[in-house]
Chain A
Amino acid sequence: MDTMTKKKTTHKNPKKLRVSGAEAIIHCLLAEGVDLIYGYPGGAIMPVYDELYKFQDKLTHILTRHEQGATHAAQGYARVSGKVGVAMATSGPGATNLVTGLADAQIDSTPMVCITGQVPRHLLGSDAFQETDIIGISTPVTKWNYQITTAEEIPGIMAKAFFIAKSGRPGPVLIDITKNAQFDELDFHYEACTGVRSYQPTPVVKAEALEMAADLINNAKKPYIVFGQGVILGEAEKELKAFVEKSGIPAAWTILGLSAMNTDHPLNVGMVGMHGNYGPNVLTNECDVLIAIGMRFDDRVTGNLESYAKQAKIIHMEIDPAEINKNVQVDVALLGNAKETLKKLLPKIKKNSHETWHNEFKLKYEEEFKTVIENDLHPKKEGLTMGEVVEEINKASKNKAVIVTDVGQHQMVACRYAKFDQSKSNITSGGLGTMGFALPAAIGAKMGAEEREVVAIIGDGGYQMTIQELATIYQNKTAVKIVVLNNDHLGMVRQWQELFFESRYASTVMTNPDFVKIAEGYHIKAQRVSERKNLKAAVEEMIAAKEPYFLEVKVEKEDNVFPMIPSGASVSDIRLK
């Protein structure tokens, strides 16, 4: 693992150092505690790469095989480590290849700083070679972006970039640096940014709102919690657990909230949303108080808004004021960081156990178990199911793995069945639903948590969108475990075609290559399983491996993911089959 092992740095702030802009960028990264970045070189960013060469002992650069891979790797790294992910690219096509990752990080609130090279200042706007208006292109998909055209601006802007990326509701920031600014010299002096006048990242929760919320919660007969990624981003896992346990309120996760509370917790009742669990969806329309914590009422969660939790009083804990009343009209808004809010709320909450109400979740679970879960996890039919593969991974990894998923049926199955006993363990593209996310994100996740087992679960479609990152894995000996659940279809789209387009499988059948040979071509140990009797041993071998490992599982070609809320339908209309 020596090529990618993170370098320990003790970076002292160099006082009055005369350096080039390119070198200044490295100093800024080091000052921000960055020791690992992802990227791809090219003409307009070469001065910075030249410095990276010189600073190899302090700052590791991972060459991905596509800039999109660099952004997803940076995201995976950020999501498991809680740090800012950094990706770098050249101007023009390099920069435009970052856009998907930026959009993904923006909608999933992932702290990331992307640095792009740009043509020299005097050529800006002239359609110069590899010039593209990346500031214009990235504006709608970044939390903030800025074009640096003089070397002097570098320290201040870089400090601001990191501050903005990680504070408040985190997000991606793009810094574009013209080539002249990389070559020119400046007197380097770095000061971390602690505030921006026009930007108030963390609102302070209002006392009277807390009183109102406590009152509603203490008097509720059927209170219900839905928690999202805000809990993880706000590091409020302990506070959430304390709140749930004291109040006795059943809690459900959104796919990005998954792993914020251990999956086995008796009050953790399952997943909400389109392919979530039966009880958590149906009972949304029966609770009397809905407490939304760090989640944004995404349409995949709410289904039809006209019939979403209309009977309930709604309490919304949220850091971003623009999310309040955006989709769902709330009764009490608790604006602030989830950790602080929960801390202040806890003493006001009466101890309770809502047994009868909790029982309703259990009854619904039993119903779902009989019709869906049993068949997914312990199928009687011949073909392998995605669910049983996930179950084997749970067993072999003892619920300790970081699970990184791509987008499609396997994602929903993994988010329903993967078990976690530690936060920051579920890495998936929730808001954008980016196929191709998982393989590079798993690389980043492994590098961000080397001591942990990282298992990427990917469909045969999404795998081929960023399959070239196998080379990154080989080059860096990144010990990720890759499981491709191969159904020879774009499964999720095929499912919709079956259900809503009279089984017209327009362009969703895939003639796939020999995935095992491809993995072996990249010098990655590989195995294929197509029979149940071999599954357990194969998964165990994979988990036991110390090096990267590829496992293809041939699963049933035309299985569907249930339950399902058809798009536009109400959460209470969730179908069990």
Chain B
Amino acid sequence: MEKKFFTISVYSENNVGLLNRISGIFLKRHINIEGLNVSKSEIKNISKFTIVVFTTEDWTRKIVAQIEKQIEVIKAFYHTDEEIIYQESALFKIASHLLFDERQIQNIIKESNSQIVTVSRDFFILAKTGRRHEIDEMHDELEPYGIMQFVRSGRIAVTKAAMPITALLNEYENNN
């Protein structure tokens, strides 16, 4: 089976130790996590993990089943890149003098649709949100001028189709 990027969304209770449990499932199957983000979700007190893996659909399906089996996990889904809207964010720290000495930098900023977050005497910070390849391109363009620090976040994603968590929760509440 063909390997692809899959984005796994996990809705869960917000409990200590759950990240360990979930990451352990990938570890057991020797699958690298390409991106990981944990945040609150649209539902009060419920967390959402967004995990990116590069593997086959069969393995992704099995992993999702094993994630769902964890006691604190409410529901897990997986999607291909075509089925979601997704982004990552990155911060670039660059020496301030380059902003004046290197004209090209201003063009890169404009063309990449990034924002200057702050400027101090020694450095300025650029923030860029977008797809992985856009951030990578910007990184490649800036690199020859010297990047003092670079960081990129995990992927965040929402699906084009609905993820019926609220209905599911209501059903649970009524059953229990």
| Nearest-neighbor residue (CB-CB) of B15 within chain A | A146
| Nearest-neighbor residue (CB-CB) of A135 within chain B | B17
Residues 481 to 500 of chain A near chain B (Cβ within 8 Å): none
Per-residue interface assignment for chain B, residues 163 to 176, with 1 indicating a CB less than 8 Å from any chain A CB and 0 otherwise? 00000010011011
| Nearest-neighbor residue (CB-CB) of A143 within chain B | B71
How distant is the Cα of A320 from the Cα of B71 in the complex, in angstroms?
12
How distant is the Cα of A199 from the Cα of B69 in the complex, in angstroms?
8
- Identify A194's interface contact among B12, B65, B176, CB under 8 A: B176
> In the bound complex, do residue A196 and residue B71 qualify as a contact, i.e. CB atoms below 8 Å apart?
yes
How distant is the Cα of A133 from the Cα of B69 in the complex, in angstroms?
23
Per-residue interface assignment for chain B, residues 27 to 48, with 1 indicating a CB less than 8 Å from any chain A CB and 0 otherwise? 1100000000000000000000
Chain A residues near B28: list those with CB within 8 A.
Answer: 140
| Nearest-neighbor residue (CB-CB) of B23 within chain A | A139
Per-residue interface assignment for chain A, residues 97 to 137, with 1 indicating a CB less than 8 Å from any chain B CB and 0 otherwise? 00000000000000000000000000000000000000110
How many residue pairs, one in A and one in B, have C-beta atoms under 8 Å apart? 53
Q: With A194-B176, A199-B71 in contact, do A147 and B62 touch (Cβ < 8 Å)?
A: no
A118 CB to nearest chain B CB (Å): 14
Residues 173 to 206 of chain A near chain B (Cβ within 8 Å): 194-200
User: CB of B66 within 8 A of chain A?
Assistant: yes
Q: Which one of A145, A197, A200 has the highest number of Cβ atoms from chain B below 10 Å of its Cβ?
A: A197
| Nearest-neighbor residue (CB-CB) of A320 within chain B | B69
> In the bound complex, do residue A136 and residue B62 qualify as a contact, i.e. CB atoms below 8 Å apart?
no
How distant is the Cα of A146 from the Cα of B12 in the complex, in angstroms?
16
Interface size on A, residues (CB 8 A): 23
Chain B residues near A506: list those with CB within 8 A.
Answer: none
B157 CB to nearest chain A CB (Å): 21
> In the bound complex, do residue B21 and residue A139 qualify as a contact, i.e. CB atoms below 8 Å apart?
yes
| Nearest-neighbor residue (CB-CB) of B75 within chain A | A198
Q: With A197-B169, A320-B69 in contact, do A139 and B13 touch (Cβ < 8 Å)?
A: no
Q: A197-B13, A322-B66 are in contact. List 20 more A-B contacts (CB 8 A).
A: A139-B24, A140-B27, A143-B71, A147-B16, A147-B17, A194-B176, A195-B175, A195-B176, A197-B169, A197-B173, A198-B13, A198-B74, A199-B71, A199-B72, A200-B172, A200-B175, A322-B62, A322-B69, A324-B65, A325-B61
Chain B residues near A321: list those with CB within 8 A.
Answer: 65, 68-69
- Identify B17's interface contact among A139, A199, A325, CB under 8 A: A139
A168 CB to nearest chain B CB (Å): 9
How distant is the Cα of A326 from the Cα of B12 in the complex, in angstroms?
23
Task: Identify the 7 closest CB pairs spanning chains A and B, nearest first.
Answer: A195-B176, A322-B65, A198-B74, A144-B71, A322-B69, A199-B71, A140-B24
Residues 133 to 151 of chain B near chain A (Cβ within 8 Å): none
The 11 sampled A-B contact pairs (Cβ below 8 Å) are A136-B20, A139-B17, A139-B20, A144-B71, A164-B71, A196-B71, A196-B176, A198-B12, A198-B72, A322-B66, A322-B69
